[in-house]
Amino acid sequence: MNSKKYNKKGGFKSKNKELDIQFISVTIDSENCGWEPYENILNAFQAVKFKSLFPIFNFSLKNNSDQTVLLTNILITNKHLPVGLSGPDIQLPCILRSIITYKIKLPANKKTINTALTDEIIIPKGEFFKFQVELYSESMNDFKPPNKYALDFKFGFNNDFYIDIPKILLNSEKDYDKLQHFGLS
């Protein structure tokens, strides 16, 4: 994978000089899942509604290169953040899910999966494009609080290069490796 650098336009550029894909934004599809953004924290979302706990992300990018490219695959790396809480189990509602563009299984902790897309997107030069990714697992319990995740997405183009997407946080306002311990007096 080629490494990328954040550019001043708010996107990530590939080292491949001919290809320039700009990340515009990531939002959550709150209409079709139970997630909402945290206030004043970029790319961080929390499960707050009794809808599907499988998050559905809306990604917007722009092809600034002088050629048409194909979105060919999506890499996701997951880091399950530590939780120091215990308490009663939160009951899950009955869920009716809508059909979305890409359904991708949540990787195991500190694992990366590479999903080759069977329905690739053709992106003409100079055009914006938008798609959704719904993460799922065997159990919706994996997504309910207090579970917390830091997700790294990479989008592959032309089976050749990748762009990094800013880290996405689920049920957490920050990325961390260890819990803070506080003494009680």
pLDDT of residue 113: 94
In the numeric block, which tokens belong to residue 177? 């490796």
pTM above 0.75, yes or no: no
Q: What's the CA dihedral at 173, 179, 180, 182 to 10 degrees?
A: 120
Confidence at residue 96, expressed as pLDDT on a 0 to 100 scale: 28
pLDDT of amino acid 84: 67
Determine the topology of domain 4-170 in CATH. Answer: Immunoglobulin-like (2.60.40)
Domain ranges of the chain: 4-170
- pLDDT tens for 108-150 read 999 999 999 888 888 888 877 888 898 999 888 888 888 899 9
Residue 131 near residue 100, CB atoms below 8 Å: no
CA 80 to chain CA centroid, Å, is 14
Each residue's pLDDT tens digit in the chain (185 positions)?
A: 444 444 444 444 455 556 789 999 999 888 888 888 999 899 988 888 777 788 889 999 999 999 999 989 999 999 888 876 655 555 544 332 322 368 899 999 999 999 998 888 888 888 778 888 989 998 888 888 888 999 999 999 998 889 999 999 998 988 888 776 666 76
Buried b (16+ CB within 10 A) or exposed e, 80-111: bbeeeeeeeeeeeeeeeeeebebebebbeeee
